[in-house]
Structure 1
Amino acid sequence: MHRVVVLALSEAIGYDLNIPPQVFGAASKDGHGLYDVRICGMDDEPVHFTYGYSARLEHGPEALAEADTVIVPGTRIEGPRKRGVLEPPLADALARIRPGTRVMSICTGAFVLAAAGLLDGRRATTHWAHAADFRVLYPNVDLDENVLFVDDGDVLTSAGLSAGVDLCLHVIRSDHGSAVANQAARYCVVPPWRDGGQSQYIDRPLPSPEDGSTAATRAWALEHLGEPLDLDTLAQHARMSVRTFSRRFRAETGLSARTWLNQQRVLHARHLLETTNLPVERVAADSGLGSAASLRQHLNAAIGVSPLAYRRTFARS
């Protein structure tokens, strides 16, 4: 199995640390787990957490040398967080990671990757509340604190806390397809998909009692993706003016209605490519993307592959 090693650094953020084993541990196919997840520390000492407890781990830094993916969760470790440096024990631990290993961070784990020089010249993110400090310490990183996660190939970073769930599901989806990722999300009782470009901070995720919500219209749209849907149609279904609907939609989702609709159509197309033998033209039509050429363009923009290549990789046998 693909081995994921989570590096716990005192003081560790317990929520962040438990996301990878929970989410990757839920990924399976034909009843078999797809990831071997291990948590390690820098030494044999207990790892301290931010809310008054500690834990002794089964694995030390030697586990990093056997990892296919290394994840650094949120941490308050002094060197990377305050001075922009790696202390020798941490530098020695990170030096064990093999070239070509996929490296990820959740929340302030990005400070550690940046201190190691892994983010220089790259686009990355971290929790929005720590963005100012991050920029001062690591000016060579192209930081975007307005997104949930950034996939930069072999190095991936996420915003704080639950954005780590989105990043892990994104990786599962990239490794094994939408069906496996959706199954893992269902087991964890979390939304199966939030796009990495979605805003970290949504002003009003829930409408006030006197306001209308766009939730019913979003649910309706998901059942009618193959039909012509535009902003006027969605606003009419919600019984709102276009201006009011657009404002409330963005307040509740962090996205414009058009961006959200395109994402849902691409997701549905991916599901059809994985689970059916429908011709590409039919997949494009049923998902509302129009033509095979349009589907190819959208899929290429989203994940960098053609529909046929995606089907060959992820279609169920």
Structure 2
Amino acid sequence: MPESREYLGTEVKNVLDALNQIFNETVKNNAVSYISPELIKNFHGMIGKELGVHFEAIPGKFRENNVVVGTYRAPEYNFVSELMQRLCDWLKNEFKFRHDEEQDFLDAVIESIVTHVYVAWIHPFGDGNGRTARLLEFYLLLRGGMPNICSHILSNHYNETRSEYYRQLDHAGKTRQLTDFIDYAVQGFLDGLSDVLWNIQKHQMNNSWKNYVYDIFDAHKKINKPKRNRMRSLVLNLEFFKEYSLEEIQLINVDLAAQYKILSKRTIDRDVADLVSMGLMEMKGNKYISQISSLVKQLPTKRQIQQKVSS
């Protein structure tokens, strides 16, 4: 990376290091606590580490100047410490987190959302408020028992719908109510959960299919090794639900294309016919499809998963 842009790499590294540290302390060491001004400053310090002039704030210290972000004028700097303390006290009393028992799932999600919004509104630092808010959000979801893979969903949702995020944030500020922003965030969270569950399910099915294919070939020991490897590679490289002609199958990847190029035309015909007879492929008209499609059809659809998550 050019020297003039090295700070961008430091920014990314700081965020990744912070996420890893928070994960290790929260999940592995179970070092959880209430949200406090000191915790928030600590997260901000992680974000601004070693950025120098590229970070327009003192890492880990509340601002001592007034700021305007676009058309939004943040609270006067001399009120920041008091506002942050009041926010932390309110979070502690409102969302019922206890060290000796698991926090309610809904409380954890809503607390993470409103904490993000209030940090954005108070704007306690001269720089890095958004990154600090996302770290707090990540921490609160982890603390509430959310798996690591799901604790990034809200942050991803805001990034993927950035224009709507700013519109909702502005609307919440003007109306002095959070209902619409919470609706927007929760819907994004539910959609993200559905995506995660769907991807996990596809991954599990892919692994199950791979194991099944290997078991089938283990039961056909008379097939010589070169043919076995070629046929197994062929069927495992077929995309779900996609129909292939014989010509397309030969070109499914570079390695198979190279093998079939030096073999006779009848080889691909025999390989595919054998895979059909083994129940690993199915003929549909003049094309072929992986039999994993039959297994996948037994799974709930993504829409069904979304409906279940939302219920």
TM over 0.5: no
Aligning the two structures, in what range does the TM-score lie when normalised by the shorter sequence? under 0.3
Max radius of gyration: which structure? Answer: 2
Q: TM-score, normalised by structure 1?
A: 0.26
Kindly indicate which of the two structures has a greater share of residues assigned to strand: 1
Kindly indicate which of the two structures has a greater share of residues assigned to helix: 2
Q: TM-score, normalised by structure 2?
A: 0.27
